[in-house]
Amino acid sequence: MTSYLVRRGAASIVVLLLVSIVAFLLIHLQKGDALTVKLRQRLPEEQVQQLRAEMGLDKPLWEQYWTWLSGVLRGDMGRSFFREQQPVWDRIKAALPVTVELVALAIVISVIVGVPAGVISAVRRNSLLDQVTRLFSVIGLTIPVFWLATIVLVYGGIWFSYSPPLTFQQFWESPMRNLEAMWMPGLILGYALSAITMRITRSSVLEVMRQDYVRTAWAKGLGEQVVIVRHVLANSLIPVITVLGNQFVYIIGSTVIVEYLFHLPGLGFVAFESIATRDYFLVQGTVLVIGAMVVAMNFLVDLSYAWLDPRVRLAGTTQI
């Protein structure tokens, strides 16, 4: 068990290091830098050179990378080029809770809706309820998130005079005001995610229901509830968790769209804005934090395997 965790943990750190390199290279391997965006007006050449030296943009790439990475390891992610050189971490610290709340909302909705719907759909296979649930799931899988969000904004505004609040408050400042801004984007992401959760739960439950031990449980005369919950559901959760873990990246990506449309100052919005202004350190910091969230989630998924499936736990002790 421990060696399994250590191996997964080490792999996570390597991946995170790679994310930092990718984030750094993507933004640095290009013609022109932040100065070309920042200095719309022409400046004398020596002044540009001086600014460049101040920002450390004249050094070789590997040195810039190393300076940045060692700073990050010490807890200093550099400063933004704009907004009076606000430290990157301050910006990320304010944005992180928004995105975490949004994603948590989406995951909670998808588990509350998707898992029971998938189980019922599988147990009552081909019933009317199954057909309706599957239709909703297919729509959720294919409807573009940006279209759904636009429809909500446009038709919600026309029919229900819905509009998202323009100012945002953190949950601990004012829970009601916060949820007022959050519930709709959370619902949109939650619907997209529960469509996938439901589909995987259904197929996984159908698979498990064919197993011999389930037949044995029925043959023993156990009640439907006991068979479904104790024997079927418990064993069909692993693929669901795998898929939820895989979808985490997709949901974080989608937060860019909903945060932009619903005026939420989260990480997705910061990523979008900083990329557009080529705010190097802010982009690198944001992408690194997003990558860290994904890697952490994958690690948690690995952990849950070990917890749910004794075979993984035991395999860890025999290998290496």
Partner 1 sequence: MAERNPDLAVPVALGPRLAPAFALEAWSRLLRFVRREPLTAACAFIFVAIVIVAIFAPWIATHDPLAGDPRARLQGPSADHFFGTDAIGRDVFSRVVYGARVSLLVGVAATLAGTVIGAIIGLITGYLGGTVDLLVQRVMDGIQAIPALVFLLLVAAIWQQGMLSVVVVLAVLIAPYVSRLVRGVVLSLREEAFVLAAQAMGARPLRIMMVHILPNTLAPVLVAASIIAGGAMLAEGALSFLGLGIPPDDPLWKTSWGAMLKPENLQYFERSPYLVLFPGAALALTVLAVNVLGDSARDRLDPRLRGTL
Q: Which residues bind partner 1 (CB under 8 A)?
A: 11, 14-16, 18-19, 21-23, 26-27, 30, 125, 138-139, 141-147, 150-151, 153-155, 157-158, 199, 202-203, 206-207, 249-250, 252-254, 256-257, 260-261, 268, 271-272, 275-276, 278, 283, 287, 290-291, 294-295, 298
Between 108 and 141, name the residue whose CB sits nearer to partner 1: 141
Four-CA torsion 288, 241, 256, 186, nearest 10 degrees: -130
CB of 173 to partner 1, least distance (A): 27
CB of 85 to partner 1, least distance (A): 21
CB of 298 to partner 1, least distance (A): 8
Between 207 and 222, name the residue whose CB sits nearer to partner 1: 207
CB of 71 to partner 1, least distance (A): 20
CB of 151 to partner 1, least distance (A): 6
CA distance 120 to 201: 10
154, amino acid identity: V
Between 110 and 284, name the residue whose CB sits nearer to partner 1: 284
Between 11 and 241, name the residue whose CB sits nearer to partner 1: 11
Between 102 and 145, name the residue whose CB sits nearer to partner 1: 145
Between 143 and 222, name the residue whose CB sits nearer to partner 1: 143
Burial (CB count within 10 angstroms: exposed 0-12, middle 13-18, buried 19+), residue 275: middle
CB of 300 to partner 1, least distance (A): 14
